[in-house]
Amino acid sequence: MTRTWVVPVSAIVIGMVLTGPSSAQEPAGDVAVHDGGAKVSRATWECTPGHEVRKHRITLDSGAVRYTFMVSGCLDPSHGDQHPCNEGTFGMPDPSLANWYWGGFMKVLVNGTNATLYQAEEPRVLETGARGLIQIVWAHPAADVGLRLMMLPAGNHVLAELVWRPRADAAVETVALRLTCYPSFFTTARQRTGERHCRTPRVDMAEGQPLKLVPGEDAWLYYYDRVFDVANGEGDGPCAVLLDPSAVTAGSVSIGGYAVTTAVDLDPEAGRTRLALYDFTGLSNADAGEYMEQHAADDQARLAEMDFRPGPVRGLDVAEFTAEVTGLLAAAAEDGEALKPQVDELLARMAELKPAADEGDWTAEADLAELLLRSPDILWKLKAFAVLNRQ
Protein backbone atom coordinates (compact mmCIF):
# COMPACT_ATOMS: atom_id res chain seq x y z
CA MET A 1 0.00 0.00 0.00
CA THR A 2 1.33 3.42 -0.96
CA ARG A 3 0.01 6.57 0.61
CA THR A 4 1.00 10.18 0.46
CA TRP A 5 -0.08 12.15 3.48
CA VAL A 6 -0.93 15.75 2.88
CA VAL A 7 -3.29 16.33 5.79
CA PRO A 8 -2.48 19.65 7.41
CA VAL A 9 -2.77 19.15 11.15
CA SER A 10 -2.33 22.71 12.25
CA ALA A 11 -5.45 24.44 13.53
CA ILE A 12 -7.14 21.17 14.18
CA VAL A 13 -9.22 19.63 16.98
CA ILE A 14 -10.21 22.28 19.55
CA GLY A 15 -9.84 25.16 17.13
CA MET A 16 -11.70 23.36 14.39
CA VAL A 17 -14.86 23.14 16.50
CA LEU A 18 -15.13 26.89 16.55
CA THR A 19 -13.30 28.11 13.46
CA GLY A 20 -13.43 27.33 9.77
CA PRO A 21 -11.92 24.22 8.24
CA SER A 22 -8.30 24.42 7.18
CA SER A 23 -7.61 24.68 3.48
CA ALA A 24 -7.58 21.41 1.55
CA GLN A 25 -4.68 22.79 -0.46
CA GLU A 26 -1.20 22.23 0.88
CA PRO A 27 0.27 25.68 1.49
CA ALA A 28 3.75 26.26 0.10
CA GLY A 29 6.57 25.38 2.42
CA ASP A 30 4.96 22.38 4.10
CA VAL A 31 6.59 19.07 4.91
CA ALA A 32 5.13 16.00 3.19
CA VAL A 33 5.42 12.38 4.29
CA HIS A 34 5.30 9.59 1.75
CA ASP A 35 4.59 6.19 3.27
CA GLY A 36 5.73 3.55 0.80
CA GLY A 37 4.14 0.82 2.90
CA ALA A 38 5.49 -2.65 3.65
CA LYS A 39 6.65 -5.00 0.90
CA VAL A 40 7.40 -8.68 1.43
CA SER A 41 9.71 -10.55 -0.93
CA ARG A 42 11.89 -13.64 -1.08
CA ALA A 43 15.36 -13.08 0.38
CA THR A 44 18.34 -13.01 -1.94
CA TRP A 45 21.14 -11.09 -0.23
CA GLU A 46 19.11 -10.15 2.85
CA CYS A 47 19.04 -13.55 4.58
CA THR A 48 18.95 -17.28 3.77
CA PRO A 49 17.64 -17.53 0.18
CA GLY A 50 13.95 -18.38 0.24
CA HIS A 51 13.20 -16.70 3.56
CA GLU A 52 10.59 -13.94 3.39
CA VAL A 53 11.86 -10.43 4.05
CA ARG A 54 9.77 -7.40 4.86
CA LYS A 55 10.84 -3.85 4.02
CA HIS A 56 9.00 -0.66 4.81
CA ARG A 57 10.13 2.68 3.37
CA ILE A 58 8.90 6.05 4.53
CA THR A 59 10.03 9.47 3.31
CA LEU A 60 10.09 12.91 4.92
CA ASP A 61 10.21 15.68 2.31
CA SER A 62 10.97 19.18 3.62
CA GLY A 63 10.66 20.73 0.17
CA ALA A 64 14.45 21.20 0.14
CA VAL A 65 15.52 17.58 0.65
CA ARG A 66 13.98 14.13 1.04
CA TYR A 67 15.12 11.67 3.69
CA THR A 68 13.92 8.09 3.30
CA PHE A 69 14.08 5.58 6.15
CA MET A 70 13.81 1.82 5.69
CA VAL A 71 12.85 -0.78 8.28
CA SER A 72 13.94 -4.25 7.07
CA GLY A 73 13.78 -7.70 8.60
CA CYS A 74 13.48 -11.38 7.81
CA LEU A 75 10.14 -12.90 8.81
CA ASP A 76 11.31 -16.52 8.96
CA PRO A 77 10.28 -18.18 12.25
CA SER A 78 13.71 -19.79 12.54
CA HIS A 79 14.98 -16.43 13.86
CA GLY A 80 12.73 -16.53 16.93
CA ASP A 81 11.71 -13.05 18.03
CA GLN A 82 14.41 -11.35 15.96
CA HIS A 83 14.13 -10.13 12.36
CA PRO A 84 17.66 -9.91 11.00
CA CYS A 85 18.75 -8.51 7.66
CA ASN A 86 22.28 -8.73 6.26
CA GLU A 87 22.84 -5.04 5.51
CA GLY A 88 21.06 -3.88 8.65
CA THR A 89 17.50 -3.39 9.86
CA PHE A 90 17.16 0.40 9.97
CA GLY A 91 18.63 2.31 7.07
CA MET A 92 18.53 5.64 5.26
CA PRO A 93 18.43 5.11 1.47
CA ASP A 94 17.84 8.81 0.63
CA PRO A 95 19.19 11.37 0.00
CA SER A 96 22.28 9.18 -0.59
CA LEU A 97 22.88 5.43 -0.41
CA ALA A 98 26.26 6.33 1.07
CA ASN A 99 26.61 8.61 4.10
CA TRP A 100 24.11 7.28 6.69
CA TYR A 101 24.08 3.74 5.36
CA TRP A 102 21.03 2.82 3.29
CA GLY A 103 20.78 -0.75 4.69
CA GLY A 104 21.40 0.04 8.34
CA PHE A 105 22.89 3.16 9.87
CA MET A 106 21.59 2.93 13.41
CA LYS A 107 21.63 0.31 16.12
CA VAL A 108 20.17 0.95 19.54
CA LEU A 109 21.86 -1.44 21.94
CA VAL A 110 19.78 -2.13 25.04
CA ASN A 111 21.67 -4.35 27.48
CA GLY A 112 24.00 -5.06 24.56
CA THR A 113 21.45 -6.30 22.01
CA ASN A 114 20.18 -4.23 19.11
CA ALA A 115 16.56 -3.11 19.49
CA THR A 116 16.10 -2.59 15.74
CA LEU A 117 16.45 -6.37 15.26
CA TYR A 118 13.12 -6.92 16.98
CA GLN A 119 9.53 -6.55 15.85
CA ALA A 120 8.78 -3.00 14.73
CA GLU A 121 5.33 -1.48 14.69
CA GLU A 122 4.40 -0.16 11.25
CA PRO A 123 5.98 3.29 10.92
CA ARG A 124 3.25 5.80 11.77
CA VAL A 125 2.67 9.25 10.34
CA LEU A 126 1.93 11.63 13.20
CA GLU A 127 2.04 14.95 11.37
CA THR A 128 2.39 16.51 7.95
CA GLY A 129 2.26 20.17 6.99
CA ALA A 130 3.93 22.64 9.32
CA ARG A 131 6.05 19.72 10.50
CA GLY A 132 6.62 16.22 9.15
CA LEU A 133 6.67 13.69 12.00
CA ILE A 134 6.85 9.90 11.94
CA GLN A 135 7.33 7.25 14.60
CA ILE A 136 8.72 3.72 14.78
CA VAL A 137 8.55 1.56 17.92
CA TRP A 138 10.62 -1.62 18.34
CA ALA A 139 9.75 -4.33 20.88
CA HIS A 140 13.09 -5.13 22.51
CA PRO A 141 12.67 -7.82 25.21
CA ALA A 142 13.74 -5.37 27.95
CA ALA A 143 12.13 -2.16 26.67
CA ASP A 144 9.95 -0.54 24.06
CA VAL A 145 12.33 1.55 22.00
CA GLY A 146 10.71 4.40 20.11
CA LEU A 147 12.14 6.75 17.52
CA ARG A 148 10.43 9.91 16.28
CA LEU A 149 11.83 11.60 13.19
CA MET A 150 10.90 15.13 12.23
CA MET A 151 11.58 17.60 9.44
CA LEU A 152 10.71 21.28 9.35
CA PRO A 153 9.81 23.18 6.15
CA ALA A 154 12.89 23.69 3.95
CA GLY A 155 14.98 21.93 6.61
CA ASN A 156 18.23 20.22 5.64
CA HIS A 157 18.34 17.75 8.53
CA VAL A 158 16.18 15.31 10.48
CA LEU A 159 15.47 15.94 14.15
CA ALA A 160 15.17 12.74 16.14
CA GLU A 161 14.00 11.73 19.57
CA LEU A 162 14.83 8.27 20.89
CA VAL A 163 13.10 6.87 23.97
CA TRP A 164 13.36 3.61 25.85
CA ARG A 165 10.64 2.45 28.25
CA PRO A 166 11.69 -0.55 30.37
CA ARG A 167 9.13 -3.36 30.58
CA ALA A 168 7.59 -3.98 33.99
CA ASP A 169 9.56 -7.18 34.53
CA ALA A 170 12.84 -6.02 32.98
CA ALA A 171 15.75 -3.75 33.80
CA VAL A 172 17.56 -1.52 31.31
CA GLU A 173 21.19 -1.54 32.44
CA THR A 174 22.92 -0.07 29.40
CA VAL A 175 21.82 1.88 26.33
CA ALA A 176 24.19 2.70 23.47
CA LEU A 177 23.97 3.92 19.90
CA ARG A 178 25.98 2.61 16.98
CA LEU A 179 25.89 4.86 13.93
CA THR A 180 27.42 3.77 10.64
CA CYS A 181 28.24 6.03 7.74
CA TYR A 182 30.25 5.83 4.53
CA PRO A 183 31.13 9.48 4.05
CA SER A 184 30.39 10.62 0.49
CA PHE A 185 31.38 7.40 -1.30
CA PHE A 186 31.62 3.58 -1.00
CA THR A 187 35.41 3.61 -1.35
CA THR A 188 36.49 -0.03 -0.87
CA ALA A 189 33.47 -1.51 -2.65
CA ARG A 190 34.36 0.53 -5.74
CA GLN A 191 38.12 -0.16 -5.50
CA ARG A 192 38.94 3.42 -4.60
CA THR A 193 40.89 4.90 -1.73
CA GLY A 194 39.65 7.97 0.09
CA GLU A 195 40.80 10.06 2.98
CA ARG A 196 38.15 9.94 5.70
CA HIS A 197 37.95 12.52 8.45
CA CYS A 198 35.75 13.21 11.44
CA ARG A 199 35.64 16.73 12.73
CA THR A 200 34.03 17.98 15.95
CA PRO A 201 33.97 21.49 17.45
CA ARG A 202 37.15 20.39 19.29
CA VAL A 203 39.29 18.29 16.90
CA ASP A 204 39.68 17.01 13.34
CA MET A 205 40.81 13.38 13.12
CA ALA A 206 41.96 11.53 10.03
CA GLU A 207 41.18 7.88 9.31
CA GLY A 208 43.12 5.37 11.34
CA GLN A 209 43.40 7.69 14.34
CA PRO A 210 41.30 6.93 17.43
CA LEU A 211 38.75 9.59 18.29
CA LYS A 212 37.49 9.50 21.86
CA LEU A 213 34.57 11.85 22.36
CA VAL A 214 34.41 14.45 25.10
CA PRO A 215 30.64 14.49 25.74
CA GLY A 216 30.31 18.15 26.73
CA GLU A 217 32.44 19.42 23.87
CA ASP A 218 31.90 17.12 20.90
CA ALA A 219 28.32 18.23 20.35
CA TRP A 220 28.47 17.50 16.63
CA LEU A 221 30.43 15.12 14.44
CA TYR A 222 31.07 15.99 10.82
CA TYR A 223 32.20 13.14 8.56
CA TYR A 224 33.91 13.92 5.27
CA ASP A 225 36.37 12.51 2.77
CA ARG A 226 39.11 14.72 1.33
CA VAL A 227 39.26 12.72 -1.90
CA PHE A 228 35.52 12.34 -2.38
CA ASP A 229 34.63 16.00 -2.25
CA VAL A 230 31.92 17.46 -4.51
CA ALA A 231 34.34 20.39 -5.03
CA ASN A 232 36.61 17.90 -6.86
CA GLY A 233 33.73 16.38 -8.81
CA GLU A 234 33.91 13.24 -6.64
CA GLY A 235 31.41 11.60 -4.29
CA ASP A 236 27.98 12.64 -3.04
CA GLY A 237 28.94 15.09 -0.29
CA PRO A 238 29.54 14.65 3.46
CA CYS A 239 27.27 13.91 6.45
CA ALA A 240 27.01 14.79 10.14
CA VAL A 241 25.25 14.08 13.40
CA LEU A 242 24.42 16.35 16.29
CA LEU A 243 24.19 14.81 19.76
CA ASP A 244 22.37 15.69 22.97
CA PRO A 245 25.22 16.12 25.46
CA SER A 246 22.92 15.72 28.48
CA ALA A 247 22.39 11.98 27.88
CA VAL A 248 25.82 11.05 26.47
CA THR A 249 28.21 9.49 28.97
CA ALA A 250 31.03 8.41 26.61
CA GLY A 251 31.72 7.83 22.95
CA SER A 252 34.26 7.08 20.28
CA VAL A 253 34.53 7.16 16.51
CA SER A 254 36.30 4.44 14.55
CA ILE A 255 37.36 6.19 11.33
CA GLY A 256 37.97 3.40 8.85
CA GLY A 257 38.90 3.80 5.21
CA TYR A 258 35.49 2.37 4.31
CA ALA A 259 32.90 2.45 7.11
CA VAL A 260 33.04 5.01 9.89
CA THR A 261 31.41 3.76 13.09
CA THR A 262 30.37 6.01 15.94
CA ALA A 263 29.70 4.47 19.36
CA VAL A 264 27.79 6.56 21.87
CA ASP A 265 27.03 5.39 25.42
CA LEU A 266 23.87 6.85 26.89
CA ASP A 267 22.71 7.23 30.46
CA PRO A 268 20.13 4.42 30.80
CA GLU A 269 18.31 6.39 33.52
CA ALA A 270 17.73 9.31 31.13
CA GLY A 271 15.06 7.32 29.27
CA ARG A 272 15.55 9.42 26.15
CA THR A 273 17.98 11.30 24.00
CA ARG A 274 17.84 13.48 20.91
CA LEU A 275 19.95 13.79 17.82
CA ALA A 276 19.94 15.47 14.44
CA LEU A 277 21.01 13.70 11.26
CA TYR A 278 22.48 15.52 8.28
CA ASP A 279 23.14 14.21 4.80
CA PHE A 280 24.83 16.97 2.81
CA THR A 281 24.43 15.35 -0.59
CA GLY A 282 25.40 17.86 -3.28
CA LEU A 283 27.42 20.09 -0.94
CA SER A 284 31.18 20.50 -1.02
CA ASN A 285 33.17 19.68 2.12
CA ALA A 286 33.87 23.37 2.62
CA ASP A 287 30.19 24.36 2.42
CA ALA A 288 28.98 21.54 4.67
CA GLY A 289 31.75 22.17 7.21
CA GLU A 290 30.90 25.84 7.24
CA TYR A 291 27.22 24.99 7.77
CA MET A 292 28.08 22.99 10.89
CA GLU A 293 30.37 25.72 12.21
CA GLN A 294 27.75 28.43 11.66
CA HIS A 295 24.47 26.67 12.42
CA ALA A 296 25.02 23.62 14.65
CA ALA A 297 24.52 25.63 17.85
CA ASP A 298 21.19 27.03 16.61
CA ASP A 299 20.10 23.62 15.36
CA GLN A 300 20.97 22.13 18.73
CA ALA A 301 18.98 24.77 20.60
CA ARG A 302 15.97 24.11 18.35
CA LEU A 303 16.34 20.35 18.85
CA ALA A 304 16.48 20.74 22.62
CA GLU A 305 13.32 22.88 22.69
CA MET A 306 11.32 20.86 20.18
CA ASP A 307 8.08 19.25 21.30
CA PHE A 308 7.96 15.84 19.62
CA ARG A 309 4.39 15.07 20.67
CA PRO A 310 1.98 14.85 17.72
CA GLY A 311 0.25 18.16 17.02
CA PRO A 312 -3.34 17.15 17.82
CA VAL A 313 -2.24 15.71 21.18
CA ARG A 314 -0.09 18.73 22.06
CA GLY A 315 -3.10 21.03 21.89
CA LEU A 316 -5.49 18.65 23.62
CA ASP A 317 -7.19 19.57 26.87
CA VAL A 318 -9.54 16.64 27.47
CA ALA A 319 -11.79 18.49 29.92
CA GLU A 320 -12.13 21.50 27.61
CA PHE A 321 -12.68 19.28 24.57
CA THR A 322 -15.34 17.24 26.40
CA ALA A 323 -17.12 20.38 27.60
CA GLU A 324 -17.15 21.88 24.11
CA VAL A 325 -18.39 18.71 22.45
CA THR A 326 -21.02 18.14 25.13
CA GLY A 327 -22.17 21.73 24.70
CA LEU A 328 -22.45 21.30 20.93
CA LEU A 329 -24.35 18.06 21.40
CA ALA A 330 -26.87 19.83 23.64
CA ALA A 331 -27.15 22.75 21.21
CA ALA A 332 -27.71 20.38 18.30
CA ALA A 333 -30.81 19.16 20.17
CA GLU A 334 -32.76 16.44 18.33
CA ASP A 335 -30.46 16.62 15.29
CA GLY A 336 -27.55 15.65 17.51
CA GLU A 337 -29.16 12.51 18.82
CA ALA A 338 -28.09 10.32 15.93
CA LEU A 339 -24.51 11.43 16.51
CA LYS A 340 -24.51 10.84 20.26
CA PRO A 341 -23.25 7.21 20.16
CA GLN A 342 -20.30 8.27 17.98
CA VAL A 343 -19.53 11.22 20.22
CA ASP A 344 -19.72 9.04 23.34
CA GLU A 345 -17.39 6.51 21.75
CA LEU A 346 -14.93 9.26 20.77
CA LEU A 347 -14.88 10.69 24.29
CA ALA A 348 -14.58 7.24 25.91
CA ARG A 349 -11.69 6.24 23.68
CA MET A 350 -9.99 9.56 24.33
CA ALA A 351 -10.34 9.12 28.11
CA GLU A 352 -8.87 5.64 27.76
CA LEU A 353 -5.84 6.67 25.68
CA LYS A 354 -4.92 9.95 27.36
CA PRO A 355 -3.47 8.56 30.65
CA ALA A 356 -1.29 6.03 28.79
CA ALA A 357 -0.17 8.76 26.36
CA ASP A 358 0.70 11.07 29.28
CA GLU A 359 2.76 8.27 30.80
CA GLY A 360 4.94 8.11 27.70
CA ASP A 361 3.28 5.22 25.84
CA TRP A 362 3.99 6.29 22.26
CA THR A 363 1.60 3.76 20.75
CA ALA A 364 -1.26 5.18 22.83
CA GLU A 365 -0.18 8.71 21.93
CA ALA A 366 -0.17 7.89 18.21
CA ASP A 367 -3.59 6.18 18.56
CA LEU A 368 -4.90 9.32 20.26
CA ALA A 369 -3.48 11.56 17.52
CA GLU A 370 -5.16 9.41 14.86
CA LEU A 371 -8.44 9.45 16.74
CA LEU A 372 -8.35 13.24 16.85
CA LEU A 373 -7.43 13.48 13.18
CA ARG A 374 -10.36 11.24 12.28
CA SER A 375 -12.87 13.12 14.42
CA PRO A 376 -13.36 16.38 12.44
CA ASP A 377 -16.22 14.94 10.34
CA ILE A 378 -18.45 14.24 13.27
CA LEU A 379 -17.51 17.51 14.99
CA TRP A 380 -18.36 19.53 11.88
CA LYS A 381 -21.74 17.83 11.60
CA LEU A 382 -22.37 18.57 15.24
CA LYS A 383 -21.34 22.18 14.82
CA ALA A 384 -23.60 22.58 11.80
CA PHE A 385 -26.57 21.14 13.71
CA ALA A 386 -25.79 23.39 16.68
CA VAL A 387 -25.81 26.45 14.40
CA LEU A 388 -29.07 25.37 12.71
CA ASN A 389 -30.74 24.86 16.06
CA ARG A 390 -29.75 28.29 17.31
CA GLN A 391 -31.74 29.98 14.56
Residue 353 CA to residue 315 CA, distance in Å, equals 15
Compute the half-sphere exposure of residue 90: CA atoms within 13 Å on the CB side of its CA. 26
Contact 78, 84 (CB under 8 A): no
Distance of alpha carbon 199 from its chain centroid, rounded?
Answer: 25
Segment contacting Zn ion by CB under 5 A, of 41-49, 132-140, 295-303, 331-339: 41-49
Binding characters for Zn ion, 328-347, by CB under 5 A (x = yes):
--------------------
Enumerate residues 6+ apart whose C-beta is below 8 A from 333.
385, 389
Least separation in angstroms between CB 39 and Zn ion: 16
Query: In this complex, which beta carbon is closest to Zn ion, that of residue 74 or of residue 325?
Result: 74
Query: In this complex, which beta carbon is closest to Zn ion, that of residue 104 or of residue 235?
Result: 104
Least separation in angstroms between CB 49 and Zn ion: 9
Least separation in angstroms between CB 77 and Zn ion: 9
Query: What one-character-per-residue DSSP string does 237-267 give?
Result: --EEEEE-TTTEEEEEEEE-SS-EEEEEEE-
Q: Integer distance in angstroms from the first to the last C-alpha of the chain?
A: 46
Segment contacting Zn ion by CB under 5 A, of 68-76, 90-98, 123-131, 317-325: 68-76
Segment contacting Zn ion by CB under 5 A, of 39-47, 141-149, 206-214, 332-340: 39-47
Least separation in angstroms between CB 48 and Zn ion: 5
Q: Is 85 in the site for Zn ion (CB under 5 A)?
A: no
Which one-letter DSSP state was computed for residue 337? G
Q: Is 149 in the site for Zn ion (CB under 5 A)?
A: no
Least separation in angstroms between CB 74 and Zn ion: 3
- Give the residue, chosen from 7, 51, 249, 352, that forms a contact with Zn ion under the rule CB under 5 A: 51
Q: Is 47 in the site for Zn ion (CB under 5 A)?
A: yes
Q: Is 58 in the site for Zn ion (CB under 5 A)?
A: no
Please tell me whether residue 145 adopts helix, strand or coil conformation.
strand
Compute the half-sphere exposure of residue 376: CA atoms within 13 Å on the CB side of its CA. 18
- Give the residue, chosen from 76, 122, 234, 335, that forms a contact with Zn ion under the rule CB under 5 A: 76
Distance of alpha carbon 84 from its chain centroid, rounded?
Answer: 21
Residue 155 CA to residue 258 CA, distance in Å, equals 28
Q: Is 74 in the site for Zn ion (CB under 5 A)?
A: yes
Q: Residue type at 222? A: Y
Query: In this complex, which beta carbon is closest to Zn ion, that of residue 74 or of residue 142?
Result: 74
How many residues touch Zn ion under the rule CB under 5 A: the total is 4
* Residues of this chain that bind Zn ion (CB under 5 A): 47, 51, 74, 76
